[in-house]
Amino acid sequence: MQFDLMSKPKVFVEFSNDDMESLVAVDCKHPTAYQLTHHLKGPGQKKSMNLLLRGDSSTDAVINAIKSNDDRFVACQYVTTNHFDIDSFLSVWCALNCDLAISYEGILREAARIGDFREFLLDEPNAKDKDFALRIVCWINSVESKLFYEPFESPISVASGERDAKTKFDYFLSKFESVIRNPLDQEYINDYFDEYSRVIAEYNMLTDNTNSKATYETLRDIGLVIVHFPQPMHYYSLFSVSRGLDVVVSCYSDNRYEVEEKYTSFIDLFSRGCLPRVEMQPLSRFLNKLERKYAHLNNSHVKASESTEVVAVSQIEWCSNRVTDSGPILRREDLLRKLTKAERYGHPFERQIYSSCIPSTEFIAIVVSYFQFAYSTSKVASKIDWSWNEIHEFNKSIDWVKWESTV
């Protein structure tokens, strides 16, 4: 079914929690507006949306609303969102450009997936669409960094959303049609070439089965992938081997490690179930004790990635974010300068990753046993639509003292 092109074109408005008639809110929560989003964990969220329109990304939901001629969506005159990121922007753009959203559906759906879940795959079918989607996402990233501020660098509030988002929306909404029509235009290639080239090079290296320095192993029973790569990577290439999985263990040279619980287990996927997130604080405490044992056998300093900076071991500890963070990361942190949210959202190659004294084989074995214990002892199964209450109750049920005694 084609979208009713006789309906009145929508207008983008800045976010406000205030009641506003004829408003659709995309990729966020709103107390009164009709919603098209994948953020459905909050109390009452599902009542604000036609769940038949769900997809994995919010862009999926908007395109589904367009294709089904959803009555409430068609009737809305205004569209809003509370932040700027790729899925949010594409959701708004599709709502404003319904005919073009259908014309470029494949590219837009894939671009939203790459931008929000960082899952780039250059495979058949539709490899050309996937390549164009990567180019478009890299163009948005590159221009955003050059002309504006990085994601999460602008304050955001429940009442009025991201303070400076409108400047980004005004710019990208005016430019995007030309970019999606002509992603191979030299002007746009000049903008995105560096980032795009890095992703492709790392992706090719990681997916080359003959390269022993870049490998990955998937453990689907616990939704986890282990990636070995010489240097910290770009997220799009790092997470390229993680589709269908929700935990990524990154192992780089010089015993540099990170464990990340992906955004896919923060939002509400529709295409597949997932296991509940596991709090990683007990794991960080155990690793700190093990780190101190190994440190006494080695030396008292550690080296940061891509830097000659040397930091005292006592200043570096394993830390992790809570499960309610959009992307919890377990990593060694400088306690005098912990990463900001913007730095954690940035790519691994853009941040310092400190060496560990723990050998990689032992580190991997510990991390795998941690997640295996969490899921096997509770006998939890994969499903869609985990509530935060369920996730918290699941974590409370785990006896980490018992796990530690078995390691």
- List, for residues 90-117, the tens digit of each pLDDT value: 999 999 999 999 999 999 999 999 999 9
Which region among 130-134, 299-303, 326-330 has the lowest average model confidence (pLDDT)?
A: 299-303
- Check whether 65 has a pLDDT greater than 60: yes
Under the banding of pLDDT at 50, 70 and 90, the label for residue 280 is very high
- List, for residues 177-196, the tens digit of each pLDDT value: 999 999 999 999 999 999 99
CA dihedral 133, 148, 330, 117 (to 10 degrees): -20
**Residue in 309, 49, 47, 169 with CA at minimum distance from that of residue 38:** 49
Under the banding of pLDDT at 50, 70 and 90, the label for residue 319 is very high
d(CA 77, CA 91): 15
Q: What is the pLDDT of residue 138?
A: 98
Q: Position 267: which residue type?
A: I
Tokens at 115, concatenated: 């931008």
Instruction: State yes or no: cis peptide before 9, omega within 30 of 0.
Output: no
- Give me Rg for the CA atoms of the chain: 22
SS (H, E, C) the chain: CCCCCCCCCCEECCCCCCCCCCEEEECCCCCCCEEECCCCCCCCHHHHCCHHHCCCCHHHHHHHHHHCCCHHHHHCCEEECCCCCHHHHHHHHHHHCHHHHHHCHHHHHHHHHHHHHCCCCCCCCCHHHHHHHHHHHHHHHHHHHHHCCCCCCCCEECCCEECCHHHHHHHHHHHHHHHHHCCCCHHHHHHHHHHHHHHHHHHHHHCCCCCCCCEEEEEHHHCEEEEECCCCCCHHHHHHHCCCCCEEEEEECCCEEEEEECHHHCCCCCCCCECCCCCCHHHHHHHHHHHHHHHHHCCCEEEECCCCCEEEHHHEEEEECCCCCCCCEEEEEECCCCCCHHHHHCCHHHCCCEECCCCHHHHHHHHHHHHHHHHHHHCCCCECCCCHHHHHHHHHCCCHHHHHHHC
Residue partners of 52: CB distance under 8 A and separation at least 6: 64, 68
d(CA 317, CA 106): 44
Q: What is the pLDDT of residue 297?
A: 74
- List, for residues 339-372, the tens digit of each pLDDT value: 999 999 999 999 999 999 999 999 999 999 999 9
- Check whether 395 has a pLDDT greater than 60: yes
- Check whether 257 has a pLDDT greater than 90: yes
CA dihedral 96, 1, 102, 67 (to 10 degrees): 60
The average confidence (pLDDT) of the chain is 93
**Burial of 187 from C-beta contacts in 10 A (0-12 / 13-18 / 19+):** exposed
Q: What is the pLDDT of residue 303?
A: 53
Under the banding of pLDDT at 50, 70 and 90, the label for residue 212 is confident
- Check whether 381 has a pLDDT greater than 90: yes
